Structure 1
Amino acid sequence: MKNIYIYLKILLIPFAFILQNYSIINAQICSKTNPINCLQFKPLARLWNVSNEEVPKLLDLEKSLISIDSKLQPLLNELDFGGTYIDMKAGKINVNTVNQSKVNEIRNKMKNDQDFLNFIAANNTLSQLNSTFNQTFILAQQFNITNYEISIEPEFNNIVIYLNMNDGKNKRFIENVETFNPSPIIKLLPNEEKEEILFNSSILVEKRNLNILVNGGSRIVSLGHNGIKACTAGFWMKKNNEDFIVTARHCLEIFPPLFYVYSFQDDHLIGPMNSRLIGSYDMGFIKKTNTNIMLRPVIRRFLQFLIVGSSEITSCGIHICKAGQRTGISCGFVSAINSIYNFVDGVLIRAIVVANMHGNYGDSSGSMFLYNGLNGQSNLADAVGIFNRWRIRHTGNRYANKHSF
């Protein structure tokens, strides 16, 4: 299953300085001699198909590969190479190579790290891929198609288009796009399927507090066209000394734009969504007006993570996780950084694409994060953005967006 996440650098989450001492006091260091502290690594261990105790070592390797990839990418001429992606199973960075004569030049420039590089023969340069990506997007607009995703996926060294092939308009679009060089890979939008519930939790414990706690992953509700519309709290952020919850813009359907945590009770009112990003970002901001509501820099869906920083996604093949109020915590792989998605209502979303991540309705705007893993601690997270999920009405398929901070 593919999920889409919008990448946005203009928002900062000022959590790291708040939690420095707290995270040290509550350190949960994973080790073979203390396996209970490794349990929070289970969603990532499941993705990587390893034991919980192996995750800290692999997180260190992933961080090293990301650092090497950040040094490598600027050296790769887009006329000679076709992008990179991290292969965690092999512990290597795969480099799509069209001009093999340039390999030694790159190895010499990356002498200290060349053992981590795997140069793979490829047909398409990044220049070709960018050109075909732009051509495909222009053609999609000309044919006025909707509910599609276009992405550059380095693992395939090609453009990948996801759409409904049964639509007559789309068939004509496909016939034209297949004449491009390279010819994009055409795939069906994923079908609706029953999702497994992973690490889901009860909200009853938090309801007993005098102050009602809202964490990343908490259920938030508002009025929708068909009754109650449920989404998931993303992250707490501050602006001009006021508190906001970052959520998805599409969680708001009708006015008044009031949001509650858990249920429609006066003491559960959070406040209004009084600002939204438009254009290429599906993002909204709920202002906290209820003094009984306590926002925390914490992600909690049974498992609890302390947010100690924020991360920028720069490499394909790395892990990314989400906390949703429906399906809990699950992880997937970043498969594309350059992508654009067209909503059912024609809104275009610039996005990062993630594969193999569980999610379902109601998970929209849930916290997206990376495991921090500092010193083997299993309860630390870096904020990445928010997970959005909606139903594409005429196909029954699902997608998601992420907003990165």
Structure 2
Amino acid sequence: MRNFYFLLNLLLLFFIFDKLSLVYTKEALAELWDVEDNELLDFFAIEKKLITIDKILQPLIKEHILSFGGTYINVKKKQVFVNTVDPSVVPIITNSSELMHTDYLNFITFVTANNSLVTLADRFLKIYGLIKQFRPKNIECYIDMEFNNIVIRHSQKKNNSEFLNSTRVYNPIFIQPSVNFSHPRCKEGITQFPILRRNLILEILGGEGLMNLLNREECSVGFWARDNYNENLNYIVTAGHCSIKRSRLAGAENFAHMSWDSPKLNRLGQMVNSDKIDRYDFGLINITDSTYLKSMTTLIRNTDSKSYAELIMEDGIEVTSYGSHACKSGWRSHVTCGYIKGLGTITTDSKGRAFKDLIYYSKSAFQITCAGDSGGPVYSYLQDLKTVGLIGIHLGRFGDFSKFLPLNIILSKGKIKLVRSSH
């Protein structure tokens, strides 16, 4: 009997480690699209074509804003879907000079919809007014293009009933976030097993770890930036909530770097005191006088990949298409990817404070980010699977949805510029 239980436990242990290994056998983007690695470039080309078509469609349907309810792409189905309220206007779009002499129409599907862009925008604005009035806690509000409706994600643990009831007149969809497939690195007891590198100089890559040495808060390296007016000032951009600047201990915090493959802490510098930490949730760690400035790179860590262990961050770009991919590199969950779900969103925190313009990304029912990933770079792949365009920094998770702060807000409000790759 004892041997039986020993064998049973051995098999269980093997199953657990086998399951964990399966999580990391594919490229992160292949995991998202549920394809094999050798199919990635084909699907990547499909997505690029769909985004191109979507960029052409968006201004066309805005000329008939009462007749259409927005667009979204689906890479697996190889289609750009156009929510259509008035089908009689469809020929105007299909006969446009931008589309009629191309094969783009083979990749466009017009689907019946109830809500136009005007209706959605008007309802969203009115719900935002209710958010400011009732100050609900921990909600996410956005326009979901696939549902052709406004979605309000909320926690059952928070008493937001007065706010939720007040929004029913606008017929939103209410969702209580959940996760069916948790990320194994987020689970208590599953830790990283570092492999010490032989070289003594540890480069600092986007997605690696940061620690606030005052309160032991873990976050992630975002990207390297310089001051707009003084190029000698160098910063690491990360999430603002990694700091406790709002306390009486302001100015006493030091941050350290933690590589994925080394347990050693390397002291970097202090976070610059700024009201942007509260208003936009990003912070700047001043590394100008740090000996580790020479170790700072524009690369993004992707160690779990068999072929692309380091990603080249070439430039900053903006997200334009619902349904396109967004990937992030972070201290805990490493590189994971999701679909763009919400643009121009409204998010409230545990105090009921509202934050605009965060972007939501998700792989439905899957947890793709963990505590400790905050501040890590969020990016989209460019012309291949080695080079990426930065689109923001990761800020947190609510159920199966994750959120990031767009790059253009960080650069403009922080008065900084992105240090670009020299590769």
**TM-score bucket (shorter structure):** 0.7 to 0.9
Relative to its length, the structure with more strand (as a share) is 1
Query: What is the rounded CA distance, in whole Å, between the counterparts of 1:201 and 1:44 in structure 2?
Result: 22
1:228 and 2:221 aligned:
no
Quote how far apart the aligned CAs of 1:135 are.
0.9
Quote how far apart the aligned CAs of 1:398 are.
7.9
Given the superposition, is the C-alpha separation of residues 148 and 121 from structure 1 closer, same or farther in structure 2, using an over 3 Å criterion? same
User: Does the 8 A contact of 2:73 with 2:81 survive in 1?
Assistant: yes
User: Does the 8 A contact of 2:151 with 2:175 survive in 1?
Assistant: yes
What does residue 176 of structure 1 align with?
A: 166
Amino acid in the other structure paired with 1:273: M
What does residue 106 of structure 1 align with?
A: 93
Q: Which residue of 387, 392, 402 corresponds with 1:380?
A: 387
Quote how far apart the aligned CAs of 1:51 are.
1.1
Query: What is the rounded CA distance, in whole Å, between the counterparts of 1:336 and 1:164 in structure 2?
Result: 18
5 Å matches for 1:125-274? 125-165=116-156, 167-168=158-159, 170-180=160-170, 183-190=171-178, 194-197=182-185, 204-205=195-196, 209-223=199-213, 227-239=215-227, 240-241=230-231, 242-254=233-245, 255=250, 256-262=252-258, 268-274=266-272
What does residue 94 of structure 1 align with?
A: 81
Query: What is the rounded CA distance, in whole Å, between the counterparts of 1:171 and 1:70 in structure 2?
Result: 39
Quote how far apart the aligned CAs of 1:387 are.
0.8
User: Does the 8 A contact of 1:280 with 1:347 survive in 2?
Assistant: no
What does residue 11 of structure 1 align with?
A: none
Structure 1: give runs of 5+ residues left out of the alignment.
Answer: 1-38
The CA deviation string for residues 75-117 of structure 1, in whole angstroms up to 9 with x for no partner, is: 1122111000001111110000001110000001121222221
Amino acid in the other structure paired with 1:216: G
What does residue 414 of structure 2 align with?
A: none
Amino acid in the other structure paired with 1:249: G
Aligned residue pair count: 352
Q: Which residue of 307, 310, 314 corresponds with 1:304?
A: 310
Quote how far apart the aligned CAs of 1:210 are.
3.7
The CA deviation string for residues 225-253 of structure 1, in whole angstroms up to 9 with x for no partner, is: xx410000011122222221110111102
What does residue 71 of structure 1 align with?
A: 56
Quote how far apart the aligned CAs of 1:355 are.
1.3
What does residue 16 of structure 1 align with?
A: none
Quote how far apart the aligned CAs of 1:167 are.
3.9
Amino acid in the other structure paired with 2:83: N
1:355 and 2:358 aligned:
no
User: Does the 8 A contact of 2:115 with 2:148 survive in 1?
Assistant: yes
Given the superposition, is the C-alpha separation of residues 59 and 192 from structure 1 closer, same or farther in structure 2, using an over 3 Å criterion? closer
Q: Which residue of 392, 400, 404 corresponds with 2:403?
A: 400
What does residue 322 of structure 1 align with?
A: 328
Per mean C-alpha deviation after superposition, the further-off stretch among 234-243 and 189-198 is: 189-198
Identical columns (%): 31
Query: What is the rounded CA distance, in whole Å, between the counterparts of 1:370 and 1:119 in structure 2?
Result: 27
Quote how far apart the aligned CAs of 1:348 are.
2.5
TM-score w.r.t. the length of structure 2 is: 0.77
Quote how far apart the aligned CAs of 1:275 are.
4.8
Quote how far apart the aligned CAs of 1:373 are.
3.8
- Partner-residue secondary structure (3-state), 1:273: coil
Q: Which residue of 35, 44, 50 corresponds with 2:35?
A: 50
Structure whose alpha-carbon radius of gyration is higher: 2
Query: What is the rounded CA distance, in whole Å, between the counterparts of 1:284 and 1:58 in structure 2?
Result: 36
Per mean C-alpha deviation after superposition, the further-off stretch among 248-257 and 324-333 is: 248-257
User: Does the 8 A contact of 1:165 with 1:171 survive in 2?
Assistant: no
Query: What is the rounded CA distance, in whole Å, between the counterparts of 1:249 and 1:332 in structure 2?
Result: 23
User: Does the 8 A contact of 2:257 with 2:265 survive in 1?
Assistant: no
